[in-house]
């Protein structure tokens, strides 16, 4: 592909702007869990862990994802256990739905897994003082393949509580098979188009078929507003940047996309479910770039249909920013309550650095940020096609990071519920816009401890 090696140079520095301060700021919700007494004091007080004794140990590893990610991760874990037969890893794969609640409950009871796949907003939520997860710099894990700046996304209060797997950019993935069938035009991932182009494409789709859909409408509305304003919804101090007029613009623009058959309405989304994605009736969807390979694998398995990344459409040819949201993908964290920090660190290092582990983990979490892992995947031929396109798209997307506060459930509940009320005809766009300014700010103040 035309971008690969040169783009890698910039990759480690993507996402640094706009969130470094947010990662370490303020009190958050839910209330931070209290570590078990055995966990000890702060990261600075944590002694270096002892070397592995070689005695039989059992550790637990929890993550979320789809079937493809589960299969790859289990294969990697099995390969690790073959090399280290004295370490038994109990795998705990799960779907995204309910995972936050499951981990919250486990942390509250101090019975969490040893190794946990965590989300961007979880670390400042669960451990704003950096004392709930181990400082990964204090363990025997090779971090030399990561940009120091990119590792800051896993820091809270100066403690590296999570190693970010890679970078994520929100965008569009379309079912090329269906778009080609209807003769609709689309650009490649590194191209350019406007919402008028998308509306023109929608005119070619028959009744009951849509160019794409989104399960979280505000994740599309907010980038559209950013294209207009050039700023994230909240600043680093959690103060609202958007006005009621901005929200009104986004809500009405989104409603127009529904009216023009670009998107199904909310009733259709709630009734149709994921089934319409696999039948091609929803011929694409908004998606994080880190998840597109898994999704494409599922779609191809359904009927040989092909999923590709395309750029996020812009308001017009003069729109300077894509508006897309950027963040790290998932992170890996080690519980401070683990009885086996050395063996858990061995597992994590294997998954992110060892050629066998990296090849088995594959690309179902997106392309790694670890330069060594990228080289391993390139040499094995795994980083090609859609995986390479998604990797390059992430680098060139030119979006904005809203910081971990944007995805915290305290805020998501507000803007998702208000959109739902508007979409189902319970409140007007004007009222929804006004309430978003007030209620999102109130939620942000609570999260920031104000």
For 23-37, write each residue's pLDDT tens digit.
333 333 333 343 333
- In three-state secondary structure terms, 422 is helix
Domain boundaries, given as residue ranges, for the chain = 26-167+328-396, 170-326+402-447
Q: What would the pLDDT profile of 216-252 be if each residue is shown by its tens digit?
A: 899 999 999 999 999 999 987 889 999 999 999 999 9
Global pTM value: 0.72
What mean pLDDT is predicted for residues 433-450?
92
Same fold, 26-167+328-396 and 170-326+402-447: yes
Alpha carbon distance 443, 425 (integer Å)? 24
Mean pLDDT, rounded, of the chain: 86
Q: What would the pLDDT profile of 329-365 be if each residue is shown by its tens digit?
A: 899 999 999 999 999 999 999 999 999 999 999 988 8
Please give the CATH number for the structural domain made up of 170-326+402-447.
3.40.190.10
pLDDT score for 55: 84
Cβ distance 337 to 38 under 8 Å? Answer: yes
pLDDT score for 53: 61
Is the domain defined by 26-167+328-396 classed in CATH 3.40.190.10? Answer: yes
What is the strand order of the sheet 115-118 is part of? Answer: 87-94, 57-64, 115-118, 331-334, 163-164
Cβ distance 411 to 440 under 8 Å? Answer: yes
What mean pLDDT is predicted for residues 151-171?
90
- Which tokens belong to 204? 């070619």
- Which tokens belong to 423? 């979409």
Tally of helices (H runs) and strands (E runs) in the chain: 19, 11
Q: What would the pLDDT profile of 388-397 be if each residue is shown by its tens digit?
A: 899 889 888 8
What mean pLDDT is predicted for residues 44-67?
74
Contacts of 244 (CB under 8 A, 6+ apart): 430, 433, 434, 436, 437
Q: What would the pLDDT profile of 285-308 be if each residue is shown by its tens digit?
A: 999 998 898 889 888 876 789 999
pLDDT for 11 beyond 60: no
- Which residue has tokens 């670890």? 370
């Amino acid at each position: 592909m035309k971008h690969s090696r040169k783009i890698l140079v910039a990759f480690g520095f993507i996402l640094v702007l706009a969130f470094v301060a947010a990662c370490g700021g303020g009190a958050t919700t839910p209330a931070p869990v209290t570590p078990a007494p055995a966990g000890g004091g702060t990261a600075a007080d944590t002694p270096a862990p002892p070397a592995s004794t070689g005695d039989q140990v059992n550790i637990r590893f929890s993550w979320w994802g789809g079937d493809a990610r589960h299969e790859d991760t289990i294969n990697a874990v099995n390969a690790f256990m073959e090399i280290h037969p004295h370490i038994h890893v109990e795998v705990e794969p799960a779907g995204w739905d309910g995972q936050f609640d499951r981990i919250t409950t486990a942390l509250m009871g101090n019975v969490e897994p040893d190794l946990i796949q965590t989300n961007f907003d979880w670390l400042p939520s669960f451990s704003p003082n950096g004392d709930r997860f181990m400082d990964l710099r204090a363990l025997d894990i090779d971090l030399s393949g990561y940009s120091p700046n990119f590792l800051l996304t896993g820091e809270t209060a100066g403690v590296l509580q999570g190693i970010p797997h890679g970078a994520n950019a929100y965008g569009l993935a379309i079912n090329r098979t269906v778009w080609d069938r209807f003769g609709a035009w689309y650009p490649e991932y590194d191209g350019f188009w406007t919402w008028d182009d998308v509306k023109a494409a929608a005119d070619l789709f028959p009744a009951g078929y849509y160019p794409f859909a989104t399960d979280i409408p505000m994740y599309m509305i907010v980038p559209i507003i950013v294209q207009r304003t050039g700023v994230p919804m909240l600043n680093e101090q959690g103060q609202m940047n958007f006005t009621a007029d901005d929200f009104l613009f986004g809500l009405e623009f989104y409603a127009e996309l529904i009216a023009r058959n670009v998107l199904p309405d909310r009733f259709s989304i709630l009734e149709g479910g994921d089934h319409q994605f696999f039948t091609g009736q929803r011929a694409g969807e908004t998606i994080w770039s880190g998840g597109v390979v898994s999704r494409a694998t599922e779609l191809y398995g359904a009927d040989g249909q092909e999923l590709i990344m395309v750029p996020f459409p812009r308001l017009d040819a003069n729109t300077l920013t894509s508006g897309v949201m950027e963040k790290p993908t998932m992170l890996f964290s080690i519980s401070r309550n683990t009885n086996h920090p050395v063996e858990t660190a061995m597992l994590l290092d294997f998954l992110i650095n060892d050629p066998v582990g990296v090849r088995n983990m594959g690309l179902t979490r997106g392309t790694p940020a670890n330069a060594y892992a990228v080289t391993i995947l390139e040499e094995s031929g795994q980083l090609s096609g859609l995986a390479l396109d998604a990797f390059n798209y992430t680098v060139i997307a030119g979006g904005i990071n809203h910081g971990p506060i944007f995805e915290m459930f305290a805020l998501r509940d507000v803007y998702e519920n208000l959109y739902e009320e508007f979409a189902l005809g319970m409140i007007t766009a004007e009222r929804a816009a006004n309430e978003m300014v007030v209620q999102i700010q109130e939620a942000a103040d609570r999260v920031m401890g104000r």
